[in-house]
Structure 1
Amino acid sequence: MNLIISKSKNSKSLYIQKSFRKNGKSTSKVVKKLGTMEELLPKHNNSEDEVIAWGKRLPRR
């Protein structure tokens, strides 16, 4: 499972994404939305690096 940062014009969103093979083809699925960078920054000392590190430390299934 991977941490994905989706960037749009106005915001960044963080997701946990699972990659797998289905019928011989590679595909992926969003397992959990962690939130937007704007929502998560106050919880992590207003540091994008700390938010990303936190997302990578989350337990994976």
Structure 2
Amino acid sequence: MNLIISESKNSISLYIQKSFRKNGKSTSKVVKKLGTMEELLPQHNNSEEEVIAWEKKIAKKMMEEE
């Protein structure tokens, strides 16, 4: 599982992405959209570091369950 931070002109979105092989070719798929940084900051004391740490914990949990 990979943590993806996608920045656009208007927002920063956070995703969990899974990489795998399909027909011998490497590809990836977004497994879960966690939300935008704007939505998540109030839930994590307005700290980007806490949001990233939370995202890493979610990705690790999903990888262990798989």
Is this a same-fold pair by TM over 0.5? yes
SS at the partner of 2:52?
helix
Give the unaligned 5+ runs of structure 1: none
Number of the residue aligned with 1:11: 11
Superposition RMSD on alpha carbons, in Å?
Answer: 0.7
- Tell me, in whole angstroms, the C-alpha distance in 1 between the residues paired with 2:51 and 2:4: 12
Letter in 1 for 2:34: L
SS at the partner of 1:34?
strand
Report sequence identity in percent.
Answer: 84
User: Displacement, 1:13?
Assistant: 0.3
Runs of 4+ displaced beyond 6 Å: none
Number of the residue aligned with 1:2: 2
TM-score normalised to structure 1 length: 0.95
- Tell me, in whole angstroms, the C-alpha distance in 1 between the residues paired with 2:40 and 2:20: 28
Select the structure that is richer in helix: 2
User: Displacement, 1:2?
Assistant: 1.0
- Tell me, in whole angstroms, the C-alpha distance in 2 between the residues paired with 1:4 and 1:10: 17
Letter in 1 for 2:33: K
Alignment: residue pair count: 61
